[in-house]
Amino acid sequence: MVYIKILKVTIGLILIFIGVVAFFLPIIPGFVLVIAGMFLLGTKMEEIKGWIKKLKF
């Protein structure tokens, strides 16, 4: 179970990093990747959970 938690955090950080880089590239939608990374990290970090709850989808 520890490996799954580490994997979620790692993938979430990678998605956020790629999303930030993608803001400068016209091909990849960066906003979508940042949101996906926040959802993955939101299961572990309380601050991100608060941000996700404020977003209205």
The pLDDT, as a whole number, for residue 56 is 62
- Cβ-contact 12, 37 below 8 angstroms: yes
**Average pLDDT score over the chain:** 77
Q: Is the pTM of the predicted complex or chain greater than 0.75?
A: no
The per-residue pLDDT for range 21-38, each reduced to its tens digit, is 888 887 778 888 888 887
Domain residue spans of the chain: 2-52
Question: In the prediction, which pLDDT does 43 show?
Answer: 65
In sequence order, what are the residues at sequence separation of 6 or more whose Cβ sits closer than 8 angstroms to the Cβ of residue 19? 30, 31, 32, 33, 34, 35, 36, 37
* The pLDDT value given to residue 5: 76
Give the contacts of 17 (CB within 8 A, at least 6 positions apart): 37
